[in-house]
Amino acid sequence: MSITVVGSIAYDRVKTPFGERERMLGGAATHFALAASFFDQVRAVGPVGEDFGESELEVLGTRGTDLADVERVAGGKTFFWHGEYGWDLNSRETLDTQLGVFEGFQPKLSEGSRASEVLFLANIQPDLQREVRAQLPQAKFAALDSMNLWIEIARESLVSAIESVDCLILNDAELRQLTEKPNLISAAREILGWGPRAIVAKQGEYGAALITRESFFALPAYPLETVMDPTGAGDTFAGGFVGRIASALAEGTSLSEGLLREAMAYATVLASFNVEEFGTERVERLTREEIEARLGELRAMTQFAASA
């Protein structure tokens, strides 16, 4: 079994109040793969330029991620993002985006990537997400991320893409924007009506919520005193979430509320490690033991009994 992820592989230039990196490995597919690879075989699909280094390729391949569909475009330049975060890390400004090889990207999936039972469509143009989705008609679980840009300029196509997946993972402000409903529950209910069976609302430092037709679940973010760089936190979250689901499906478990919640907890833990250092630095050398230990802590932080 395996997980196919389609999305950006990038170089990021990032400045936060705690430091900066001139050119570090980034991209949605990268962060997703580094997290999901703890749980199952990942197959990364995305373009890189001639400038993409061997050592970055090696990091992308951490924990066995298959790189057969990482397309190196002759003469092309790798996607580049430059951003800076504000004092409390809750706001960020994009200073530069160079699409490079991402412009005109047409995902070409190998037989291996098409055979995956689980699919994650990271934030790319929604028409491309639909094309990829159509190439894995047998996938047991497909999840999708997006962003405000596509809500603004390609809403109809995005809605079609969402209709085709099992789970939408989006920032909560974007869920409101997408549905024009100020209330998160109302927004999620509307989207559940389009087809997905689960909506994950990412809430940054406040954690995340899971809304299904039957239930509501929410988890705080794992509390950290040192947050270095939030870049990639959302995709790392998605990697933990989708990864845990993939490993359970591979074992023959069906997609239950309990599994979705456990996946939310792994997602929260993975994202918390991601932000402790710049880019992929922390998750690269993360161990499963560290993940399990923090999962136990997170459970302890969210439990209460009532004596009345």
Q: Which residues bind a copy of itself (CB under 8 A)?
A: 17, 87-89, 176, 182-186, 189, 203, 205-207, 209, 211, 215-220, 223-227, 258, 261-262, 264-265, 292, 295-296, 299, 301-308
Q: Nearer Cβ to a copy of itself, position 87 or 111? A: 87
286 DSSP assignment: -
Q: Nearer Cβ to a copy of itself, position 287 or 303? A: 303
13-to-23, 90, 146, 233 alpha-carbon distances in Å: 5, 18, 21, 16
- Minimum distance, C-beta of residue 128 to a copy of itself, in the bound complex (Å): 31
Q: Nearer Cβ to a copy of itself, position 244 or 282? A: 244
DSSP for 63-113 reads GG-EEEEEEE-TT---EEEEEEE-TTSS-EEEEEEE-GGGTT------HHH
Q: Length of the chain, please? A: 308
- Minimum distance, C-beta of residue 269 to a copy of itself, in the bound complex (Å): 10
Q: Nearer Cβ to a copy of itself, position 16 or 116? A: 16
- Minimum distance, C-beta of residue 264 to a copy of itself, in the bound complex (Å): 7
Q: Nearer Cβ to a copy of itself, position 97 or 256? A: 256
The torsion of the CA quartet 89, 94, 95, 98, rounded to 10 degrees, works out to 140
Closest CA to 128 of 141, 111, 144, 113: 144
**Residue 129 and residue 169: Cα distance in Å, rounded?**
14
- Minimum distance, C-beta of residue 42 to a copy of itself, in the bound complex (Å): 18
Q: Nearer Cβ to a copy of itself, position 99 or 301? A: 301
- Minimum distance, C-beta of residue 217 to a copy of itself, in the bound complex (Å): 6
Task: Give the three-class secondary structure for 169.
Answer: strand
Closest CA to 220 of 235, 209, 234: 209
Q: Nearer Cβ to a copy of itself, position 19 or 53? A: 19
Angle, helix 233-250 to helix 28-36, in steps of 10 degrees:
40
- Minimum distance, C-beta of residue 218 to a copy of itself, in the bound complex (Å): 3
Please calculate the CA angle 70-250-133 and round it to the nearest 5 degrees: 45
- Minimum distance, C-beta of residue 173 to a copy of itself, in the bound complex (Å): 9
Q: Nearer Cβ to a copy of itself, position 97 or 186? A: 186
- Minimum distance, C-beta of residue 114 to a copy of itself, in the bound complex (Å): 29
**Residue 44 and residue 177: Cα distance in Å, rounded?**
30
Closest CA to 141 of 110, 113, 120: 120
**Residue 183 and residue 58: Cα distance in Å, rounded?**
43
Please calculate the CA angle 89-90-92 and round it to the nearest 5 degrees: 80
